[in-house]
Amino acid sequence: MPVPDPFHGVSFAGKKGCSVSAPVGSRGYRGWHGPPAFLPGHADGPPPERKPVPSSPESDQVVFVERTLRKAGLNPRHYRRAPLVRRIPACLRALKVDSLAAAMREMESSPDRLLVGLNSLLIGTTAFFRDRQVFDELQRHVLPELLGRVDRPRVWSAACSDGAELYSMAMMFDRLGAEPPVFLGTDCRASAIARAREGLYPISATAEMPMEFVRNHVRLSGNTATVSPEIRERVSWAKADLLTQSIDSHWDLILCRNLAIYLAPEAMDRLWKKLSAAIRPGGYLIVGRAEKPRLEDFSCIAPCIHQKAPGSIA
C-alpha cells in the first residue's frame, strides 16, 4: 500500500493548489519559502566564531627546534625533527633554563648562547680523541699507511664544531714526524669556527687525550685547556655549509662525524655523495658510530672508518 503524502494538497504559501517557487539566487531551496534557519547549513546571523586551536607541547617543541635551526643559518627541511625534539631537555639543561621561551631568549641574547643551545640539540660539542678506539686505530694503521704513499696528505674535518677532533688529528700526525699535512676545518656556524680558531676548551675536553699529547700540545690553566700555538698554526678554518655549497675535492682523509644522523633522508644521501666524490682513491672517511653510509667503491675497514678503493675513479 502506498504511503500517503502528509503534505498532499497543502501549499506552504497558505493556499491550496498554489505552486510555490523561490527566485534564483535567493537563500533556500527552489520551491521553499521557509526561513533559511530551517535549511541545512544555514542560520540567521553571522557564523559562529571559531576558537583558536590550542598548541600542543609537541607542536611547540617542533617550532622551537625549527626556529633554533633558522637562527643558526640552517635549513630545517634538511633535518629530522624527532631526534632533535628528544634533545630539548638537554638543551634546557645546557642553557640552565626551565622553559622553551626562556631558552629562546637566552639564545637570542648572544651568539655564544646560541652555539650552546644548538650544540646541545645536535650534540655538537666534541672532545679531543673522542671515541678513543677510533683514534687509536687511526694512529696505529691508517695514518702510517697514508703517509707511506702520500707526501703531504690533505685532511678535512667537515662540520668540525669546535675543532677538537681536527686538532687531535694534527697532534697525531706531529707525533709521526711527517711534514705537516694540509688541515682544514669547516662548519656552517661562524661562532663555532671562531671558537675552533681560538683553541680554548674546558679541561674536561682532554679526558680521553693521551698524556703524551697533553704534555706536548696543550697548556693547562685552571679549568681551561689551550692548544699550543705550533698546532694551531697548522690548521685553517672556514665557514661552509656542506648541504648547500659546493665543496673542494682531492682529500685524503675526511672526518664527518654525527651530522648525518640528524639529516632527512634526501639531505643525508646528498651529503654522502658529496663526501664520496671529494675523497681521493685510497682515501678515508671517518663517521660516527651510529652512522652507516652506503657508498660505492668504499669498504668499512674498522668501526667508523671507511676506505675508498684505490683503483676507483676520483
CATH 3.40.50.150 residue ranges in the chain? 132-308
Contact 280, 252 (CB under 8 A): yes
Q: What are phi and psi of 185, to 5 degrees?
A: -120, 135
Give the pLDDT confidence score for residue 36 in this predicted structure. 46
Domain 132-308, what architecture? 3-Layer(aba) Sandwich (3.40)
- CA angle in degrees (0–180, nearest 5) for 68-72-78: 80
Rounded distance between C-alpha atoms, residue 309 and residue 298, angstroms: 6
Give the pLDDT confidence score for residue 96 in this predicted structure. 96
Residue 309 carries which side chain, given as an amino acid letter?
A
Q: To 10 degrees, the CA torsion angle through 131, 136, 142, 146?
A: 110
Task: Enumerate residues 6+ apart whose C-beta is below 8 A from 36.
Answer: 27, 28, 42, 43, 44
Residue 151 carries which side chain, given as an amino acid letter?
D
Give the pLDDT confidence score for residue 9 in this predicted structure. 52
* Positions in the chain short of pLDDT 70: 1-57, 124-125, 313-314
Q: To 10 degrees, the CA torsion angle through 5, 6, 10, 11?
A: -90
Three cell numbers written together for 97: 633554563
Residue 245 carries which side chain, given as an amino acid letter?
Q
